[in-house]
């Protein structure tokens, strides 16, 4: 039998002491995150385009540009040519400036190669990386394995609504 101690009134009083108050955050917590959401394949592009229509604070929705030449090496390692959800070309390195988090979205394992470039670029800059993979186990196995070393959060889902839910939780 576990010995349970009741919460005493004095416990609440201790939490109100000056010593305990010194551990409190007494400034306003930043409620907005600069999030970059990157589609790794055509199915993910469809999901991103739908979610991008919603209202977000500082989220940018990006797609890997398959028609662009390789961007090569930048000052922070390998770079990628991306395009925003409206079709304007940009570079991964430019998009990561000022970013707090990167969310990689995939629906298949066909285009798992860019995961390493994105993950390493984010890691070099100290940016939190998450991965959301939509699909069945065997269809997405390679992209899940590719994201595992880089994603602090890795969600495998069958529900398209999960992308918006994760972005809301990240305060995007």
How many whole angstroms separate alpha carbon 158 and alpha carbon 139? 12
Whether 140 and 162 have beta carbons less than 8 Å apart is answered as no
**Does residue 140 sit within a domain?**
yes
**Does residue 109 sit within a domain?**
yes
Task: Indicate if the pLDDT at residue 145 is higher than 80.
Answer: yes
Full domain range(s) for residue 135: 33-169
**Does residue 12 sit within a domain?**
no
Question: What beta strand segments (E) does 97-159 contain?
Answer: 101-106, 128-134, 153-157
Selection from 25-29, 73-77, 80-84 with the highest mean pLDDT: 80-84
Q: What does the DSSP 8-state code read for residue 170?
A: T
Residue 51, both tokens? 């979610």
**Does residue 3 sit within a domain?**
no
CATH of the domain at 148: 3.40.50.1440
**Does residue 112 sit within a domain?**
yes
- The tally of domains found in the chain comes to 1
Average pLDDT over every residue of 157-170? 90
**Does residue 23 sit within a domain?**
no
**Does residue 155 sit within a domain?**
yes
Name the pLDDT band for 85 (thresholds 50, 70, 90): confident
Average pLDDT over every residue of 103-109? 91
């Amino acid at each position: 039998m576990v010995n349970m101690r009741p919460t005493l009134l004095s416990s609440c009083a201790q939490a109100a002491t000056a010593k305990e108050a010194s551990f409190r955050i007494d400034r306003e917590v930043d409620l907005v995150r600069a999030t970059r959401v990157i589609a790794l394949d055509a199915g993910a592009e469809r999901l991103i385009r739908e979610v991008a229509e919603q209202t977000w604070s500082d989220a940018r929705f990006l797609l890997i540009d398959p028609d662009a030449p390789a961007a090569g090496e930048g000052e922070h390692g390998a770079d990628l040519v991306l395009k925003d959800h409206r079709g304007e070309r940009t570079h991964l390195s430019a998009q990561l400036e000022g970013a707090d988090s990167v969310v990689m979205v995939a629906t298949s394992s066909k285009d798992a190669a860019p995961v390493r470039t994105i993950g390493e670029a984010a890691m070099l800059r100290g940016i939190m990386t998450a991965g959301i993979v939509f699909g069945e186990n065997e269809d997405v196995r390679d992209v899940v394995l590719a994201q595992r070393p880089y994603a602090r959060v890795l969600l495998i889902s069958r529900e398209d609504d999960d992308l918006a839910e994760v972005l809301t939780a990240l305060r995007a």
